[in-house]
Structure 1
Amino acid sequence: MATPAECREALDLLSENLGKSTGDVRTAASLDRSLTCWITDLDVTFTGRLRDGRITEVTEKPGRPAERAQIRLAMAGDDLVALVEGRLHFASAWASGRVKLEAGIRDLLQLRKLL
């Protein structure tokens, strides 16, 4: 089982990867939105902001998200690490229910470019 530190490292790597992206991925990552990632098996929430192609202002708190972010993710820690490392494909994880993504329809349309 992934630790909170490993999950934080995965989010940092995701942010770095988004920052290096180009084309449609860069456009999708350029949203300015609040973001939460609830790690269900650890019952820890990472809160941050997707801005300028990076995830910034990341904080960690125990429990479910306290506020409703514009982009909300929920998954197990191992799945977060596997997604970022490229061992798990987002679309299949989402389709099987391993990853939950909630956002407004416009944001979902933009975020699909990341898939």
Structure 2
Amino acid sequence: MANVEECRTAVDRISDRISRLDEAQRRAHIVERTISLTVSDLGTVFTMRLTPGGLTDVVDATLSSEKDRAQVRITLTSDDLVALADDRLDYAKALLTGRVKVKASLGDLARLRKLL
């Protein structure tokens, strides 16, 4: 099981991956959204904003203190978050097998697929 700091580093790696995409690709697939990332085995929620520049305003809080009003809500384990950031876990496969749960509009789901 990864710890909170390793998860924060994984979020930073995902943000870096987004910021390295071609600008035209970012414009085509990124619409600013608020995101909550619930790490179920740690009882931690990372809240952030998805922007064309990457993930910004990343804050972590305990699960009980967070009021989840994000436009995109993702739930997964700490190990799966790290595996996604390291490209060891395929996002689509994880979504289909229930390892990653996403509550979002269909359009947001399609955009996430292209980013991860």
TM-score (norm 2): 0.89
- Superposed, 1:67-78 pairs within 5 Å as 67-78=68-79
**Alpha-carbon displacement from aligned partner over 1:33-57 (angstroms, at most 9, x marks no partner):** 0000000000100001001240000
Deviation of 1:32 after TM superposition, in Å, equals 0.5
Deviation of 1:23 after TM superposition, in Å, equals 7.0
Q: Distance in 2 between matches of 1:25 and 1:43?
A: 34
SS in 2 for 1:113: helix
Q: Per the alignment, do residues 6 and 25 of structure 1 end up closer, same or farther by CA in structure 2, a change over 3 Å counting?
A: farther
Contact 1:31–1:53 under 8 Å retained in 2 = no
**Alpha-carbon displacement from aligned partner over 1:53-104 (angstroms, at most 9, x marks no partner):** 4000000100154122111110000000001101111111111100011111
Indicate the RMSD between aligned Cα atoms, in angstroms: 1.7
Q: Distance in 2 between matches of 1:46 and 1:71?
A: 12
Q: Distance in 2 between matches of 1:53 and 1:41?
A: 29
Match of 2:87 in 1: 86
Segments of structure 1 that go 5 or more residues without pairing to the other structure are none
Contact 1:25–1:114 under 8 Å retained in 2 = no
Amino acid at match of 2:46: F
Q: Per the alignment, do residues 25 and 95 of structure 1 end up closer, same or farther by CA in structure 2, a change over 3 Å counting?
A: farther
Percent of matched pairs sharing the same residue: 39
Q: Distance in 2 between matches of 1:5 and 1:86?
A: 19
Match of 2:32 in 1: 32
Contact 1:24–1:113 under 8 Å retained in 2 = no
Q: Per the alignment, do residues 23 and 96 of structure 1 end up closer, same or farther by CA in structure 2, a change over 3 Å counting?
A: farther
Q: Per the alignment, do residues 24 and 76 of structure 1 end up closer, same or farther by CA in structure 2, a change over 3 Å counting?
A: farther
Segments of structure 2 that go 5 or more residues without pairing to the other structure are none
How many residues align? The count is 114
